[in-house]
Structures are given as structure tokens and as C-alpha cells.
Homo-oligomer: A and B are copies of this chain.
């Protein structure tokens, strides 16, 4: 399946960094969902480099919807969106010289030298523009069901944001922000990122996501647990190297009596007093917000001289990566994670409630 993900709502990605275009096909999304070009634009602009923490390369992301939308609404048939590449005059690449912690060498091992290596080719973060464009439609579909998704930077360098408190409210608050944090830590984080760039270095961090409004009973006990399906999709992003739900690795620090989430009735609704399990028990949603963290590794592209190999010449060779790169992708990755989650949640809902659920509503 490779570049296609999902069973009932499926996403197919294509494109390379310096090819004609990147794009996405979304299949299986219900008919009748409003497609708001302004919202897609707004989501793409969150992913676009901007400000002093990002690469200065400018992309316009003028997307074209080729199919699946009619009279401003989804038709129920595949939605193809294409985003032409611009500014891709390729410099002289030194093909064979592997950037450390990038996919140059593994692409060669897999594609035997036929890969489009320019700018990372199909491995480039550029491909996520398609995910964000398609994800925007999924986000709209979910909003119609009362489901919201938000991702903020929990940690960057040594600076930490607060975790979710009033989750519903926090999620809505982040959705409007171009630098998504919950507390006053934008300046601190920006400063650390700029310092890293000055040092010809880069930063990683941790991002935190909440999905609110998903009813209880979604997911499967084996294999297609909510954790399993979401992590599968999230690990598509080469920069994500860890995913933890609820307390996650923090579970190692507590005993069961502390970790267990007690149930209680709040009116007719079942809630848990704590949400250490991140809204999921036995792979299935319990009605509480789904909460998880992703570890984002420091951007591998740094301006320092690094030891490496030339896999064409088959010899060791040092590399000095030219050009202007993001010293941290952690801000830009947030909207990509939201998009992946939205597509995945749409799929899980359509599997459980049928493809027309987005027309009918959850009836909560």
C-alpha cells in the first residue's frame, strides 16, 4: 500500500521536492462536505516557512482541486489536489554524498540510483503540502461532527509550554495560532531556534496533540487500535521518532494506583477523573480527549562540516550542506500532524459508522 493509507477514507500521496508538483488524492470521504478554499489556504500557510525560525525559501502553494468537488461540496468520489512546485531550479547536486540522518543513502539502497534525489525527492517535507491540503477538508468534515484537533509545541530546546488543561478550549485556542503554544513561550523558543541557527546547528522538541469529541467505542482491540493506526500514520513523517499516548513513557515513573483513570458519571456522560491513558483503553476510545505526544528530531540539515560517505564512489567523504534550511521544523510540523490525524479519524469513523456519517452526524 505504501503511499496510500486508510481503509474507508484513504489518502494517496505523490510528488517530489523538485518535480512538477506534489499532490494528494482523498478517496471515500462522504459527499456533501463543504470545501472552503480559504481554509485550505490558511492551513497551507501554517505549514509554509515564515518568520525568523524557518528557511527563507518562499513557496506559494497555489493548489488546484482537480476532482471530487462540485458546487463547493465534496461529491463522494476521489478528491485530487495538485500543488505545483515553484522555485525548483536545481543546483548542482553532488549525487552520492549522503547527508547524515537524511534518507539519501536509504533511498539509494531502495531505489538503486533511480530515485529523484533533488531536494530529498519524494522524502522531502514538501510532500506534506499535499497532506495539509487534503487534511483541511478532513478537518472541516470533523468540525461538522463536533470533533476538533489541535497540536502545540510542548517543548523546544529547553523551553516548555504547559500541557493541555481545559482541553476543548485549549484546542480551539491553538487552531488560530501560527506559532502554536498555550503559554507565553513563543519568544523563548524563537530565541533558542535562532541561536541554534547561529551555531550552524538545529533543534528538535516535543509536540502535543489533542482530539476532542470522538465518541466512545471507536477503534479495535487488536492491530487497529487507535494508538496503532494513529502512530502508523504519524511515523510517516521522517522527523517524528517517538509517539506516546497519555502519560506514555511517564507510566514508568508511577504505580498502578496513581496511573489508573477512575471512571465516573457526569450527568449521563461517562468521564474519567484523570486522563493518563489519553482517551484510549484497550485500543478503543473511552470518550475522553485523545491526547498524545510526538518526539521531533532536530533537523538533520545543519551547516557544519560532517563526516559522511559518497555511496557512488564508495568512499568516506565529508559534507557541508549549503543552502538555507529550517533550524527547527517543530512549528511547521504541527499543522501536518493535525492533518494526518484528521484523515485518520475520518477513516476510523467511516469504518465504524459507515461512509455517510459525515452527512448524518454522530447524533450525540
Please give, as numbers and ranges, the residues of chain B lying within 8 Å of A243 by CB-CB distance: 231, 242-244
- In chain B, what residue has the closest Cβ to A304? B257
A286 to B, closest residue via Cβ: B106
Nearest B-chain residue to A65, judged by Cβ: B20
Interface string of A21-50 (1 = CB under 8 A from B): 111010110011000000000000000000
A102–B272 CA distance with the chains assembled, in angstroms: 12
- A150 contacts partner chain B, Cβ-Cβ < 8 Å: no
For the complex, is A144 an interface residue (Cβ under 8 Å from B)? no
Query: In the complex the two chains form, is A249's CB within 8 Å of B284's CB?
Result: no
Whole-angstrom distance between the Cβ of A68 and the nearest chain B Cβ: 7
Given the contacts A227-B241, A282-B123, A285-B106, A222 and B2 also touching, CB distance less than 8 Å:
yes
The residues in A between 337 and 360 inclusive whose CB is less than 8 angstroms from any CB of B are: 351-357, 359
Closest to A277 in B: B101
Contact B241 A235 (CB under 8 A): no
**Chain B residues, Cβ within 8 Å of A223:** 1-5, 13, 232-233, 236
A111 at the interface (CB under 8 A from B): yes
Q: Is A213 an interface residue (CB 8 A)?
A: no
Q: With a CB–CB cut-off of 8 A, which chain B residues contact A356? A: 112, 352-353
- The answer to whether B110 and A278 touch across the interface, beta carbons within 8 angstroms, is no
User: Is B67 a contact partner of A19 (Cβ separation < 8 A)?
Assistant: yes
Q: Is the CB of A241 within 8 A of B233?
A: no
What's the least CB distance linking A274 to chain B, in Å?
10
Q: Smallest CB–CB gap between A111 and chain B, Å? A: 4
Take A20-B65, A82-B82, A241-B246 as given contacts and tell me if A217 and B110 are in contact as well, using a CB distance cutoff of 8 Å.
yes
Bound: A268/B114 CA distance, A = 21
| Stretch of A170-178, A180-188, A292-300 contacting B (4+ beta carbons < 8 Å) | A292-300
User: Which 4 residue pairs spanning A and B have beta carbons closest together?
Assistant: A103-B282, A242-B244, A202-B256, A31-B114
A282: which of B66, B102, B199, B314 is its contact (CB, 8 Å)? B102
